[in-house]
Amino acid sequence: MKKAIVLPNILKDPSLRVTSTVVNKLIGFDVEVYLSEEYPHNNILGVTYYSELPSDADLIIVIGGDGSVIDASRLSLQLELPLLGINIGKVGYLATLDPERLELLSSVVEGKVSTEEKMLLIAEKHSSDGRLLKSDRLAVNDVVICHDSYLGISEIKLENGRGDVVQYRADGIILATPAGSTAYSLSAGGPIISHGLDSITVTPICPHSFFNRSIVYGADERITITNMAETSLNISIDARLFDVLKKGESCTVYKSERRLRMINLDDTNLFSTLSKKIKLLHELV
């Protein structure tokens, strides 16, 4: 790895202190570092500032939390480059490298790490007569369908390609990737899915019925969610508003053919990392 684009989160690293440390480490490993010219030039020395995205980079390094990694995923897919997240957020399941362990960057530079390809979801909105209305974003973690407020109960029908139907009365539902199974879906009581197992997990949010379990669908399923109630529902993708689902309208969620490539550090393990993160969350409460 010879050239890297560094993407700091200015809200989490306002003084660019962590960013400067990362950049200095990379430069010490003879890596050319690209940084957007929107960041203060006098704060970080030795980098190449760009106004247009460089086309010859080998890696994107994101400094922030999981939200920063998700925001950078579009750029990763656009440039077809792997991502590495350096965590300065609260928990960090996607941003796996802590600032105290930056010595591991040497393994990244030397190519001694592997990449993990994470499954992504597509969400398509359809009108009540089946017309495709909107589809322009991929989900790294989840697609969530719920009220814009927590008043009232959602009436939601799920149907897969074989015609199997499940109906939920709940505040909403979460459709999660394996990576997203340790995010909102886990908080709502959903199962933990190994990131190497492609699947779509549907978890109800505060269900108001006896059927209150998650369902794990195969990765090749196309799941159609229809709003059966009078009130509209919001569709959000990775916590960003996608569109509104009115009565009778539907949203179809399925696996994308594209995958997000992320650096997999050899000493990280999903379940040991999860155990540490859950312990950290208890300490933060």
pLDDT score for 126: 84
Give per-10-residue mean pLDDT for the chain (285 aa).
94 92 95 90 81 94 94 94 91 83 93 93 86 79 86 87 90 96 93 92 89 91 94 93 92 96 73 57 49
pLDDT score for 269: 57
pLDDT tens digits, 126-166: 887 777 766 678 999 999 999 876 667 889 999 998 889 99
pLDDT score for 178: 96
> Residue 156: beta bridge partners?
168, 227
d(CA 276, CA 279): 5
Pairing, β 223-227 against β 165-170: unpaired
pLDDT score for 188: 94
Query: Domains of the chain by range and CATH?
Result: 3-113+265-284 (3.40.50.10330), 120-258 (2.60.200.30)
Tokens of 163: 């015609």
> Is 267 an active-site residue?
no
pLDDT tens digits, 201-242: 999 999 987 778 899 999 999 999 999 988 899 999 999 999
pLDDT score for 70: 94
pLDDT score for 72: 95
Give which of 25, 16, 64, 63 is closest to 44, Cα–Cα: 16
pLDDT score for 273: 60
> How would you write the chain as a 3-class SS string?
CCEEEEEECCCCCCCCHHHHHHHHHHHHCCCEEEEECCCCCCCCCCCEEECCCCCCCCEEEEEECHHHHHHHHHHHHHHCCCEEEEECCCCCCCCCECHHHHHHHHHHHCCCCEEEEEEEEEEEEECCCCCEEECCCEECCEEEEECCCCCCCEEEEEECCCCCEEEEEECEEEEECCHHHHCHHHHCCCCCCCCCCCEEEEEEECCCCCCCCCEEEECCCCEEEEECCCCCEEEEECCEEEEEECCCCEEEEEEEEEEEEEEECCCCCHHHHHHHHHHHHHHHC
Q: Which of 13, 30, 66, 98 is catalytic?
A: 66
